[in-house]
Amino acid sequence: MSDLTIRPGREFFTARTVSDALAGFRPTRRTTIESVPLAAALHRVPAADVLAPEALPGFPRSTVDGYAVRAADTYGASEGLPTYLDLAGAVRMGAAPTVTVPPGGCVAVPTGAVLPEGADAVVMVEYTAATMPGSIEVTRPVAPGAGLVRADEDVASGATLITAGRPLRSAELGLLAAAGVGAVDVHARPRVAIISTGDEVVPSATPVLAAGQVRDATASALAGLVTEAGGEPVVVGIVPDDRVALERVLRDALGSASIGADLVVVSAGSSVGARDETAGAVAALGTIWCHGLALKPGKPTLLAECGGVPLIGLPGNPLSALVVFRLVGAPLVWRLGGCAAPPPEPTTRARLSRDLASAAGRVDIVQVRVRGEVAEPLFGPSALLSVLTRADGYVVVPEPATGLDADSEVEVVLYR
């Protein structure tokens, strides 16, 4: 962390690149560890590797319906010159075999059944025929290992079932269940305190607005983004444009056991100006890492750490605030919750419908609507949330670029 500190009453605007922020602003705080049952473990982040207590599937089993054979007995078989094997019996699902495969013989097996002793392959039923009682005709040879899985082919005993730091998907839950693991130690969901500021901001449930008032839309949207990033939003409420009041609420959010914030997000009040009280209040409580990102929209962003708790000061305009939080805040929430790397967002390739102008030295985030293979840029003031609601995703114009040409192929990051 940088030792840059903003003194109360003194304005700084130390802009950093987005890549610098993602690489350099990395608080060490991590959430506590708790044990949860598999039914509640989807998307949770394991705190440690989980090792397989036993091999999986645990026994050699057939992967097809057919006949367990000694592979060498099928060599040379063809439709014109089939091989004939004696049927020694059958294996029932869910039961141990009571018969072995002798030389020149075979045993009927369904998919998933235990492979009987003596067999080293399974011939699919499609390549066999029952021509006479007690005998099977084989019309295609098989190699050893065909049509079966070994006892430890899925997972060897003691091997890593799941890796720490990677959010659990449904497939991992299935693998844990197959291994008999009923609960897993995971990081607690990061608690994110969301504080809205502004004399003009009123609760979203306000039925009738007075002149100049706006409902607090950003807090609800931020709560959704926090949840998507594996966190637990705690909406603290609205604070007027008063430094003393904001500092008091920040102290409470940082130190209150009832809130227990792992991250504090201040919505609005981060723009440099006469009414900007956020920087002064934050500087009184901790260290500001930067005040300003080379980003459009979202330049007036504040990143800080207060008593070991990271804090993000977002721009006042809703669209800007949500763009910044998606780029910088969401990865931080994942990291606080023990995630080694945020899960990748879905993307698609498309062609731009028009030119995009930009300025070198900053990242531009452009909202787009995708129609077939075409990405249509959407423009509007950063105070308008409808630009986001109409968008299917966004395009990143990188720092070195001065724009993108129409018909350029771009990667569109899609909203889930």
Q: At 333, phi and psi to the nearest 5?
A: -60, -45
Q: Which of 414, 408, 401 is nearest to 350 (CA)?
A: 408
Asked if residue 364 has pLDDT above 70, the reply is yes
Q: 24 or 2: which carries more pLDDT confidence?
A: 24
Asked if residue 3 has pLDDT above 60, the reply is no
pLDDT > 90 in the chain, percent? 86
Residue 309 in 3-state DSSP? Answer: strand
Token reading at 23 = 């690489």
Token reading at 107 = 């045993």
- Rg (the chain; Cα; Å): 31
pLDDT tens, 323-347?
999 999 999 999 999 999 999 999 9
CA distance 337 to 64: 42
Residues 138 and 80: beta-carbon distance below 8 Å: no
Beta bridge partners of 193: 234, 264
Domain 18-32+189-336: top CATH class: alpha beta
Residues, the chain, total? 416
CA distance 35 to 241: 42
> What was the pLDDT predicted at 73?
98
pLDDT tens, 208-230?
999 999 999 999 999 999 999 99
> What was the pLDDT predicted at 253?
93
Q: Which of 241, 232, 254 is nearest to 212 (CA)?
A: 241
Residue 22 CA: distances (Å) to CA of 16, 263, 338:
10, 16, 16
Q: H or E element: which one contains 389?
A: helix 386-390
Name the residue ranges covered by the structural domains of the chain: 18-32+189-336, 35-56+153-187, 61-149, 347-414
At a CB cut-off of 8 Å and minimum separation 6, what does 58 contact?
Answer: 151
Superfamily of chain region 35-56+153-187: Molybdopterin biosynthesis moea protein, domain 2 (3.90.105.10)
Number of CB atoms found within 10 A of residue 119's CB: 25
At a CB cut-off of 8 Å and minimum separation 6, what does 107 contact?
Answer: 67, 68, 87, 88, 89, 90, 91, 97, 99, 100, 101, 116, 119
The answer as to CATH 3.30.230.10 being correct for domain 347-414 is: no
DSSP 177-191: HHTT--EEEEEPPPE
Helix and strand totals (H; E) in the chain: 8, 28
Q: What type of residue is 219?
A: A
CA distance 20 to 297: 17
Single pTM value for the model: 0.88
pLDDT tens, 56-101?
999 999 999 999 999 999 999 999 999 999 999 999 999 999 999 9
DSSP 101-136: --TTEEEEE-TTPBPPTT--EEEEGGGEEEEETTEE
**Alpha helices by DSSP H, 161-285:** 170-178, 218-228, 243-255, 278-283
pLDDT band at 277 (very low <50, low <70, confident <90, very high): confident
pLDDT tens, 158-201?
999 999 999 999 999 999 999 999 999 999 999 999 999 998 99
Residue 370 CA: distances (Å) to CA of 177, 178, 225, 380, 416:
39, 41, 22, 17, 14
> What was the pLDDT predicted at 268?
75
Q: Which of 369, 343, 339 is nearest to 354 (CA)?
A: 369
Q: Which of 143, 183, 150, 138 is nearest to 36 (CA)?
A: 183
Pick the CATH number of 61-149 from 2.40.10.10, 1.20.1730.10, 2.170.190.11, 2.60.40.420: 2.170.190.11
Q: H or E element: which one contains 24?
A: helix 18-24
Phi-psi region of 200 (alpha: psi -120 to 50; beta: other; left: phi over 0): alpha
